[in-house]
Amino acid sequence: MTEPLTARASEIVVAAREMLDEHGAEALTMRRLAERLGIRAPSLYKHLPDKAALEAAVIATGLEDLAVALEESLHNAAEPLAALTAAYRAFAVAHPHLYLLMTNRPLPREHLPQGVEDRAGRPRRRMAGRDHRLPTRALNTPGRGCAPKRPYQGSTPYDSPPAASQRKPQTTPVGPFSGRVAR
């Protein structure tokens, strides 16, 4: 668990998330972030101790936004599993670089605000409580194979499926809905 961010640290995280959305994780460096903010890179370290803390703060904002999207999807949903899966996929497609940062490696739990990961998982657990007959595998569906594994450029690959020879095997992400957790 980490301490709440200061107002300036929150501004830095917002700028970092914008950079991530625009250019991807590779472009998110402390030096480029400082340039975007009009400050020198060492000044960032007054607010966030290192890049890992910055990424954890960005992931926390993503988990918060994901929680809101999933909670809203279940409100009066006739088909909760379908609604939850659609909301998860829509989030991933709308924020592909953030989604990859959140799911392609273990979550930095020790740097996340307390309760943020739990809140993102709560809609799935709430939905499961409605129908105990749902198999565990069905509950993990939103984290397995229904969201992009890499950012899209132009149209989504769902507009026209790739030929079988172009398909790559899917890997299971590590994250709040993958069924896998980092220890």
Domain-wise residue ranges, the chain: 7-153
Length of the chain, in residues: 183
- Evaluate whether 59 touches 182 at the Cβ level (below 8 Å): no
CA 151 vs. chain centroid, Å, equals 13
Q: Give residue 113's pLDDT.
A: 93
The better pLDDT of the pair 53, 163 is held by 53
- Evaluate whether 84 touches 139 at the Cβ level (below 8 Å): no
* Average pLDDT of every residue of the chain: 80
Helix (H) or strand (E) holding 177: none
- The upper half-sphere exposure of residue 55, i.e. CA atoms within 13 Å in the direction of its Cβ, equals 24
Structure tokens given for 120:
């993102």
Q: Give residue 127's pLDDT.
A: 76
Smallest CA-to-CA distance from 14 within 32, 31, 35, 37 is with 37
Averaged over 70-85, what is the pLDDT?
Answer: 91
CATH number for the segment(s) 7-153: 1.10.357.10
The better pLDDT of the pair 126, 82 is held by 82
